[in-house]
Amino acid sequence: MIAGIAALFKDDRDYYLFDSFEGLPVAQDIDGKDRWGQLAKTWQAKSRTNLRAEESFAQRAMLLSGA
């Protein structure tokens, strides 16, 4: 998302990205349901990546944005 913002503004700002790049923690009962009514635990069990991404993915997105 920040790569898109950087591409729009194309200014001399410094961008700092913070992420563990390890994905989401294990879902618990307290996490409840998403807006479509699916339990977080159910969604996470179906997810192949658990929203995990390599750092290189973020670096490439920033490069492509011109930031």
- pTM listed for this prediction: 0.48
Does residue 17 have a pLDDT over 80?
Answer: no
What mean pLDDT is predicted for residues 31-55? Answer: 86
Query: Can you read off the two tokens belonging to residue 40?
Result: 């977080």
Does residue 33 have a pLDDT over 80?
Answer: yes
Does residue 63 have a pLDDT over 80?
Answer: yes
Does residue 2 have a pLDDT over 80?
Answer: no
Does residue 10 have a pLDDT over 80?
Answer: no
